Amino acid sequence: MIQKAAQAKHVSQATSLLEDETMFLLPLVKELLRIPMEFDVSRIMKDTSSKMLDAFVDSVFKFVDQPYLPSQSNFLPVEEIGRDIMIDDIEGQIPTDFPMGVYIRNGPNPLFGGLKTAISWFGQSSHCWIEGEGMLHALNFIKDSQECWTVFYKNRYVETETFIQEKRKNKPSFLPALEGNSPAILAAYVLNLLRFGTVNKYISNTNVFEHSGKLYSVAENHLPQVIDFNTLETITPLWDIDGAWKRPFTSHPKKAPGTGELVIVGLDAVKPFFVLGVVSADGKKLLHEVDLKIERSTLCHEIGITQKYNIILDCPLTVNLKRLIKGGPLMKYDKEEYAKIGVMPRYGDAESVRWFEVAPHCTFHILNCFEYGDEVVVRGCRALGSIIPGPEFGHDKTEWFSRGFQSAALNEATGDINIEYGHFFSRAYEWRLNMMTGEVKEKYLTGTSFSMDFPMINDKYTGIRNKYGYTQVVDSIASSNAGKAKYGILAKLDFEELATTPKKEQVNSEELIKVEYHKFEKNSFCSGATFLSKHGQQHEDDGWIICFVHNEETDTSEVHIIDTNHFESKPVAKIMLPQRVPYGFHGAYFPKSVQQQKLHGA
């Protein structure tokens, strides 16, 4: 009855709008009258169709700014500077053995003031908090012959094809197509496709990575953009591996230990849902491509690797067009659905994947994977639900976050799977998959005191057994108040040492690992943390964590350098930035030696 009433309301609204010629028909007529008397038919037809569609969207859809709370101020976008600004305010000292290079963090920086909601007689659709055009923030570290450091800051948009299209129009143009009610999202899909050739913007706002001396910016819904290390300029064309890769590209490709080959995946909303590829170490050839014949479009944000295997997470966070057409959400986490982890040889096919059934979960980020005897060990940050895309449409996001970041300990202790709280409280977790017997052992590695995500390790240990990992830790209260995730602590995980004394907040009897914490100042939160090895490191944890930090009381942003051997101590250096840097996603440090690979023919 409710659905029929809603449909009747949409029909009524549609009739009203169609009767209003000044709103709908007149702009179309005006555009038609501009057609010249002599013209190239095909060109003008295409141009006229585009203008008619633009006029229709302008008439029927209204873009509204999504409101921001005071606690969300550092999620607001900033202006692009695009040039180097020398920094002369540094507290502490940049270590002399810190490598020269550039630290870059990606993140959403919406055009035209912020995220939008589009309202029409189809209903309304909204940008999700993960959307927004990609903006790179970079610190360039230069050392002279006297061991003196000079640091420069710059920021710059990732200029994707759709970024250029919308900037030329100088107004919001792409209709939101991820979060909203079904008719509005379907309308957005069709109209975006007709007007721009794609159903959604190419945001390129999630991660940055290097392969064979080249820098790339990437998000799940498109190919990587090539970026100039020094200028942050977007370089054309896109990286499609010499035309061989024609699909979206994972935000977290992995370099295979030993060979330097890059393992990638491409997800899509239509079959084939999941395609895996292996790129040559020089980045010039697609050595292997295979459809894994997964039966649903699962949002696998990250792939894992070991020395021999590729690791696939098949979680019940899915994109389903049929569900959308029937009136349901496009993207949904369904806790009643199955979860599996697949293990396949590096160059295997769909039949070679060994699937292990595991407890339902949502894991966006993997800490590491490695082989250990007959077992493949997978470690990641596991939650009982998904923080993406957000609450069901119309629900209060602040309330939703408040429930979601409460500790899930009570639900787990009582065995209640119909969880109300803690559904995206994320903890370090381990799966042990026995390749001989098919047995699965899984357990939490950290307790219920803190939710953590955005993990990182010493990347020299990617795919092989490692002892240490690092994560960003959620400030549950600040996140609940803001309705968006904020990270107020860093954690260092020791996988081979148990916690000395159980904390009173822990309600289960599992043995939990040792964790150290690096706490920021009050009302200060970080993003883009990454691990950087010391030159000539003797141990796995010989290095630094470098991250962007924003102080909400002073509204100032800094970059902190933290010695991982003295993790709980103050940063060795705090670099004061010339402007505010909004919270973002993943960052990476690229030493000069990596940037110069291409110059030496690597």
Q: Which range of residues forms the domain containing residue 413?
A: 36-591
**pLDDT of 457 over the 50 cut:** yes
Higher local confidence (pLDDT), 594 or 541? 541
Taking Cα atoms as reference points, which of 424, 425, 475, 468 lies closest to residue 565? 468
- What's the length of the chain? 602
Percent of the chain with pLDDT over 70: 85
Looking up residue 507, the CATH number of its domain turns out to be 2.130.10.10
pLDDT in tens, 314-334: 999 999 999 988 888 889 999
Q: How confident is the model at residue 510 (pLDDT cuts 50, 70, 90)?
A: low
Asked whether residue 375 is assigned to any structural domain, the reply reads yes
Query: Contact at 8 Å (CB) between 136 and 79?
Result: no
Q: Which pair of structure tokens corresponds to residue 522?
A: 């009050």
Annotated binding site: 252, 301, 365, 586
- pLDDT (0 to 100) of residue 229: 95
The answer to whether residue 337 is domain-embedded is: yes
Instruction: Give the annotated binding-site residues for Fe cation.
Output: 252, 301, 365, 586
pLDDT for 40 equals 47
* pLDDT > 70? residue 358: yes
- Residue 569 in any domain: the answer is yes
CB–CB of 546/448 below 8 Å?
A: no
Backbone torsions φ then ψ of 26, nearest 5 degrees: -60, -45
pLDDT of residue 9: 40
In a domain, 393, yes or no: yes
**Burial classification of residue 485, based on how many CB atoms lie within 10 Å of its CB (0-12 exposed, 13-18 middle, 19 or more buried):** buried
Most confident option among 98-102, 327-331, 475-479:
98-102
Q: Is position 10 within any domain?
A: no
Query: What is the token pair recorded at 302?
Result: 């990250």
- The packing angle between helices 25-33 and 41-60, to 10°, is 150
pTM: 0.88
Residue 19 lies in a domain: no
Helices of type H across 171-303: 182-196
- The pLDDT score that the predictor gives to residue 419 is 43
Say what the pLDDT of residue 264 is.
Answer: 98
Q: What is the pLDDT of residues 246-284, one digit of tens each?
A: 999 999 999 999 999 999 999 999 999 999 999 999 999
Predicted confidence band at 1 (pLDDT cuts at 50, 70, 90)?
very low
**Residue 588: CB partners within 8 Å, gap ≥ 6?**
103, 104, 207, 208, 209, 210, 530
Average pLDDT of the chain? 87
Q: How far is residue 489's CA from residue 491's CA, in Å, rounded to a whole number?
A: 7
In a domain, 5, yes or no: no
The pLDDT tens digits of the residues spanning 139-182 come to: 999 999 888 999 999 999 999 999 999 999 999 999 999 888 89
Write down the pLDDT at residue 28. Answer: 36
Tens digit of pLDDT for each residue in 543-578? 999 999 999 999 999 999 999 999 999 999 999 999
d(CA 74, CA 582): 5
DSSP states along 255-290: EPTTT--EEEEEE-SSSS-EEEEEE-TTSS-EEEEE
What pLDDT score does 404 carry? Answer: 76
Tokens of 14: 């549609």
pLDDT digits (tens, 9 = 90+) for 121-135: 999 999 988 899 999
Confidence of residue 454 (pLDDT cuts 50, 70, 90): very high
The whole-angstrom separation of Cα 243 and Cα 161 is 17
The reported pLDDT for the residue numbered 482 is 86
Residues 6+ apart with CB under 8 A from 137: 104, 105, 107, 153, 154, 155, 528, 548, 581, 584
CB 483 within 8 A of CB 398: yes
Answer whether residue 217 is part of any domain: yes
Q: How many domains does the chain have?
A: 1
DSSP string, 104-121: EE--B--GGGS-EEEEET
Mean pLDDT across 8-12 = 39
